[in-house]
Amino acid sequence: MSSSPVGAAEEAEQVQAWQYELTPYLWATKMNGQVAAGNLPTTNVDMQFSDILENLDFGLMLAFEARKQRWAVLLDGMYMKVSDSATSRLPGSNLDLSADVRIKQSMLAAALAYRVFDEPGKTALDVIGGLRYNKIDVNTQIDAQLLGLSGRVNRAGNKGWLDPYLGVRVIQPLNDKWQLDASFDLGGFGLGSDYAVQVQTGVSYAYSDTSTVKIGYRYMKMDYSDGDFAYNMANDGLYAGIGLRF
């Protein structure tokens, strides 16, 4: 059945217009790496998602895409505040040590994407270039107790830096409802982080004309150091979100 002239004109106008998608999502991430702030020893961080969820004070994750024909503007933001603590006795002594580490991680990425391949129902390929702003706040507190005497050392540090990055994204439709998505980007290049890498792969289901369910896996690692501050951390885990188109 062919479209009427009016219907065809409306469809062409829709293709020419900007299309928007807002996606709140949950990333069940783990954290593994090292953090150093001030003159305290490097702190090893190894937190599973269950640990992060237990110690999560606040978390917010949101992505946005605006597309017009082959061009798109991509935004991705994340904020997470977690804490961890440990207590131990120094071997061969009566010295008890306890340490508390609190980390606030903020990230905001903005990028421009160009669709190299763009045929309906076939594989689509985007090339991406953008900037990612990272901000890390670290607060470390160490308490020591020996024979009723106690002492405390506090060290805090925060750094914000900007990473340029380049990447690609592949979209493979499976049918009129399902599609596969995969993306990779590499950044830092010594201008911010020594290096930063991100890999994401998943599947999307078009629940309706205006909503899409998304699930997949995401990996992000960055290695940054400046003076007495260092942040070498890998985050990875499953994600799930709902894309709202308008």
Tokens of 23: 């996606």
Work out the percent of the chain whose per-residue pLDDT is above 90.
Answer: 56
Max mean pLDDT range (3-12, 101-110, 126-135, 219-228): 126-135
Asked whether residue 161 is assigned to any structural domain, the reply reads yes
At 165 the pLDDT is 99
At 7 the pLDDT is 41
At 214 the pLDDT is 98
d(CA 152, CA 142): 6
Asked whether residue 1 is assigned to any structural domain, the reply reads no
Cα 43 vs. chain centroid, distance in angstroms?
A: 22
Asked whether residue 222 is assigned to any structural domain, the reply reads yes
Mean residue pLDDT of the chain comes to: 86
pLDDT at 12 > cutoff 70: no
Per-residue pLDDT reduced to its tens digit, 29-52? 888 999 887 766 677 888 788 877
For the segment 179-188, the average pLDDT, to the nearest whole number, is 98
At 181 the pLDDT is 97
Asked whether residue 89 is assigned to any structural domain, the reply reads yes
Cα 161 vs. chain centroid, distance in angstroms?
A: 15
> Please, which pLDDT band fits residue 19 given cuts at 50, 70 and 90?
very high
Tokens of 167: 């990447």
> Please, which pLDDT band fits residue 10 given cuts at 50, 70 and 90?
very low
At 9 the pLDDT is 44
At 13 the pLDDT is 53
Asked whether residue 14 is assigned to any structural domain, the reply reads no
Per-residue pLDDT reduced to its tens digit, 120-147? 889 999 999 999 999 988 787 777 776 6
pLDDT at 11 > cutoff 70: no
Work out the percent of the chain whose per-residue pLDDT is above 70.
Answer: 86
Q: Domain of 138? A: 20-245
pLDDT at 2 > cutoff 50: no
Asked whether residue 172 is assigned to any structural domain, the reply reads yes
At 44 the pLDDT is 83
Asked whether residue 27 is assigned to any structural domain, the reply reads yes
Asked whether residue 5 is assigned to any structural domain, the reply reads no
| CATH classification of the domain holding 170 | 2.40.128.90
For the segment 94-104, the average pLDDT, to the nearest whole number, is 77
Contacts for 98-102 with beta carbons within 8 Å, 24 or more apart? 98/142, 98/143, 99/43, 99/140, 99/141, 99/142, 99/143, 100/139, 100/140, 100/141, 101/35, 101/43, 101/45, 101/138, 101/139, 101/140, 101/141, 102/137, 102/138, 102/139, 102/140
The answer to whether residues 89 and 95 touch, using CB atoms and an 8 Å cutoff, is yes
Q: How many domains does the chain have?
A: 1
Max mean pLDDT range (4-18, 31-45, 81-95): 31-45
Sign of CA dihedral 203, 77, 59, 193: positive
The answer to whether residues 159 and 224 touch, using CB atoms and an 8 Å cutoff, is yes
